[in-house]
Amino acid sequence: MKVPRRSILKNTVAAGGGLLLGFPLNGASRNGAAFAPNAFIRIAPDGRITFLIGRTEFGQGVFTSLSMMIAEELEVDLAKVEVRNAPADPAYDHPSFGKQMTGGSQSVMGSWQPMRMAGAVAREMLVRAAAARWKAAPESCRAERGVVLHTQSGRRLSYGELASAAARQPVPREVALKPASEWKVIGRPMPRVDGKASVEGRTEFGIDVTAPGMLTALIARPPAFGARVRAFRAAKALAVAWVRAVVPVDAGVAVVASGFWSASRGLEALEVDWTDSPLKDLTSDGQRAQYAALARTPGKLARNIGDADAALRSAARVIEAEYEVPYVAHAMMEPLNCVADVRADRCDVWTGTQYQSHDRESAALAAGLPLDRVQLHTLQCGTGFGRRWAMTSYFVVEAVQLSKAVKAPVKVVWTREDDIRGGWYRPRYYHSMAGALDDQGALLAWRQRIAGQPIFVGSTEEQNYAKDGIDGGHTGGSNIAYPAPNQRVEIHMVMEGPPVQTMRAVGGTHNGFVTECFFDEMAYAAGRDPVEWRLELLKGRPRLRAALALAAEKAGWGRALPRGRGLGAAAVDYHTCIAEIAEVSVSDDGVVKVHRIVAGVDAGTVINPSGLRAQVEGGILFALSPTLLSALTVDRGRTLESNFHDFRVISI
């Protein structure tokens, strides 16, 4: 990605000692007492170095990877740096999205240039400050492990000693980034900067937040999607000890109490009458029949190469298959939560969110305050998977509405049952596949028809993701890597159903699965070894081909296996080239057991090999849940599953 230097400086650098884009950070003064050359770095006179990371950490290791980029150019020991969540501010807007958010697998790719530039600018200002003190040429000085050295005399000054003087240096117009040959941090395995605190229980997650006078709220939410409150009776709930208020909000009716236990007891006593759900006739079986019927008919054209329909009509052999994937809940370890403190002249919000910019704007609207009177404090997240990127900011708005109503800080907590039954799922999809082989068994045509709910159409992200009315959740990852001369992808967008949103790789979570399964069907029909045929067709995709070849070699593809056991292959290029070989057995009574999965990965320039390994392992484990265990059932507009006893996920 090419990022103009002027744009980087505009967005990340503020001239003037101690200024951090117009606001002080954690005591950083405006008079040069601390060195804060840009939005990401603060160096105190006592030598303390702090990095502020504008992307949300929810287990993916982004705090470590982005800090490594800064540390590389700043020439500091990462183990001596304190890493914190950045506040919600335009200074931390994602360079690709123009908003402060974490998503789209873009944190590292989108921050690669800005993070390194931030470190390099700070390093150059420190070097120039030292050179000025020594009355030496800057070229005779170098930064190394938190100090600036004068190469001829051996004199040295620590970054802390230089902080005030560096703050008075002009921001350099040109700054050189280190070549890869000089990297000391990037590409080396690093422990997570937040790992020790998490293991010791010192990490503050959103659900841990407390504030003086804070109350806790639980909300009676609709028993079926789209139902509304017709009436409620609060007397029994208010009679529960320590229940302070019962308040109607957009989401339902809230019970506000001194703590979670009292709120939950009050919620049990609350009496609510609900309207019928507009989805009262929706069942999983009926929806499946609807989707299947749609997927067997032509849909809206999303991708077209050649003439797949004509090739299918004239092919020597046609292979057809249908696949479906269910609704899946994100099932985060830490359910949604938010603390809001609304006062007459300001509003503070504490939460784990992936979308700081939008949530801050939504909080301001709900509080009835100008944006500059609202501050959103990002907390660590007990995983997210896309759920904390909410286009309606619903979990933030709930807390703001309640704090405003009761005139006290309020923490809203979603229970596990709220989370599983509350919607915003990975959509259900149905795929109808057709492929054609010529008389020599060569791949001639590929057609894919997809039916399911859109996740972006009609949203604030529509222009980014849904050009021409085609939803990215449907098509993402559906472009097969194998060069069929005739390809066609069609979609049916069904607007009715539970609320849905992104989950991890969005469209890739179902399209990668379907396209690779169907390619195997084609390979067996052609009498070809699935890996050998993939390797043959991937000659024009050398990175993906090499990943597959490596995975196949390490997994022992082609070796003899016991009865009932087999190897399966998949290769997908979706931001990262990754191929996997799974060794699986099926018992005589149909029990599936996964014995081993080998992954070959080409992720480009790897910042932290330890982080990459963790991401791949985590992705494999996450995928096993919806493949083998996890599914949601809808009956008369309501979700039947409610917790981990019936919505099962893979466990240790």
Do residues 489 and 432 touch, judged by C-beta distance below 8 A? no
Give the Cα separation of 263 and 270 in Å (integer). 10
Across the chain, what does the average pLDDT equal? 92
pLDDT at 8 over 60: no
pLDDT at 629 over 70: yes
Q: What share of the chain is helix, strand, coil (3-state, %, to 5)?
A: 35, 25, 40
Give the Cα separation of 379 and 53 in Å (integer). 12
pLDDT at 290 over 50: yes
Q: Which residues pair with 150 in a beta bridge?
A: 141
Give the Cα separation of 124 and 106 in Å (integer). 28
Q: Kindly state the tokens that stand for 176.
A: 């050189």
Q: Kindly state the tokens that stand for 86.
A: 């950045």
pLDDT category at 95 given cuts 50, 70, 90 is confident
DSSP symbols for 160-194:
HHHHHHHHTSPPPS--PPPPGGG-SSTTS----TT
Q: Kindly state the tokens that stand for 420.
A: 């599983």
What does the pLDDT look like over 362-403, one tens digit per residue?
999 999 999 999 999 999 999 999 999 998 999 999 999 999
State the alpha helices, DSSP H only, in 248-306: 260-269, 284-295
Give the Cα separation of 548 and 580 in Å (integer). 7
Helix (H/G/I), strand (E/B), else coil: 228: coil
Give the Cα separation of 86 and 559 in Å (integer). 51
Give me the mean pLDDT over the 500-528 stretch: 94
Give the Cα separation of 579 and 602 in Å (integer). 9
Counting other chains too, the contacts that 196-201 makes at CB distance below 8 Å and 24 or more residues apart are 198/380
pLDDT category at 10 given cuts 50, 70, 90 is very low
The more confident residue out of 470 and 299 is 299
Q: Which residues pair with 437 in a beta bridge?
A: 317, 443
Give the Cα separation of 134 and 156 in Å (integer). 10
Give me the mean pLDDT over the 426-433 stretch: 97
Q: How many residues does the chain have?
A: 652
Give me the mean pLDDT over the 110-134 stretch: 97
Element containing residue 620 per DSSP (H, E): helix 609-624
Q: How crowded is residue 624: how many other Cβ atoms within 10 Å of its Cβ?
A: 16
Give me the mean pLDDT over the 316-320 stretch: 98
pLDDT at 206 over 90: yes
pLDDT value at residue 468:
57
Phi, psi of 520 (to 5 degrees): -60, -40
pLDDT value at residue 23:
31
Q: Kindly state the tokens that stand for 411.
A: 């923490």
Q: Kindly state the tokens that stand for 248.
A: 């109607």
Give the Cα separation of 379 and 586 in Å (integer). 43
pLDDT value at residue 476:
81
Element containing residue 599 per DSSP (H, E): strand 592-602
pLDDT value at residue 575:
83
Specify the pTM: 0.92
Give me the mean pLDDT over the 283-290 stretch: 98
Q: How crowded is residue 302: how many other Cβ atoms within 10 Å of its Cβ?
A: 21
pLDDT at 45 over 60: yes
pLDDT value at residue 20:
31
Do residues 637 and 277 touch, judged by C-beta distance below 8 A? yes
Question: Which range among 2-11, 13-22, 50-59 has the greatest average pLDDT?
Answer: 50-59
Specify the DSSP class assigned to residue 258. Answer: S
Do residues 612 and 603 touch, judged by C-beta distance below 8 A? yes
Do residues 229 and 265 touch, judged by C-beta distance below 8 A? no
CA-based max dimension of the chain: 83
Give the Cα separation of 644 and 332 in Å (integer). 11
Q: Which residues pair with 493 in a beta bridge?
A: 452
Specify the DSSP class assigned to residue 60. Answer: S
Q: How far is CA 83 from the centre of its chain?
A: 20
What does the pLDDT look like over 457-496, one tens digit per residue?
544 444 444 455 677 788 887 888 999 999 999 999 999 9
Phi, psi of 154 (to 5 degrees): 80, 0
What does the pLDDT look like over 631-651, one tens digit per residue?
999 999 999 999 999 999 998
Q: How far is CA 557 from the centre of its chain?
A: 33
pLDDT at 15 over 90: no
Give the Cα separation of 237 and 269 in Å (integer). 5
pLDDT value at residue 173:
87
pLDDT category at 79 given cuts 50, 70, 90 is very high
pLDDT value at residue 469:
62
State the alpha helices, DSSP H only, in 414-541: 416-421, 462-465, 472-475, 508-526, 530-537
| Amino acid present at 473 | G
Helix (H/G/I), strand (E/B), else coil: 284: helix
Give me the mean pLDDT over the 152-173 stretch: 96
pLDDT at 25 over 50: no
Buried b (16+ CB within 10 A) or exposed e, 202-214: ebebbbbbeeeeb
Do residues 449 and 276 touch, judged by C-beta distance below 8 A? no
What does the pLDDT look like over 220-279, one tens digit per residue?
999 999 999 999 999 999 999 999 999 999 999 999 999 999 999 999 999 999 999 999
Helix (H/G/I), strand (E/B), else coil: 579: strand
Q: How far is CA 328 from CA 420, 439, 451, 651, in A?
A: 9, 41, 16, 17
